[in-house]
């Protein structure tokens, strides 16, 4: 089953290496295939190098897609990680 959701990047530093690492760590917990898109660039949610190519800064709207048995849970968890500013202060 496939799910997708658009999420706004709200942390000051944007989608940097630590943020991308958090997405990879969370994505690896799921069996579903996970993709993250910023504009015309799409990356594997389980690939730190791929995620770093997205260049999503503060205010960017990215789309998370998950396809597989736990897709709904994956989207919910990844959306929360992003909306919680990757655990960074405001």
Kindly list the structural domains of the chain, giving each domain's residue range(s) and its CATH number in brackets, ordered by start. 2-85 (3.30.1340.10)
Exposure string of 18-31, with b = 16+ CB inside 10 Å and e = fewer, is ebbebbbebbeebe
Q: How confident is the model at residue 90 (pLDDT cuts 50, 70, 90)?
A: low
SS3 39: coil
DSSP 32: S
| Average pLDDT of span 11-28 | 92
Residue 89 annotated to the active site? no
Name the catalytic one among 3, 10, 14, 16: 16
Whether the model pTM is above 0.85: yes
Q: Is a pLDDT exceeding 70 seen at residue 61?
A: yes
- pLDDT, tens digit, 9 for 90 and up, residues 46-60: 999 999 999 899 999
């Amino acid at each position: 089953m496939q799910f997708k959701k658009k999420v706004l990047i709200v942390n000051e530093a944007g989608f940097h290496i630590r943020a991308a690492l958090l997405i990879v760590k969370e994505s690896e917990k799921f069996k579903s295939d996970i993709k993250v898109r910023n504009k015309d660039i799409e990356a594997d949610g389980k690939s730190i190098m791929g995620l770093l190519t997205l260049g999503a800064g503060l205010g960017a709207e990215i789309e998370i897609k998950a396809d597989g048995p736990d897709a709904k849970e994956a989207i919910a968890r990844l959306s929360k990680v992003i909306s919680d500013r990757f655990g960074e202060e405001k």
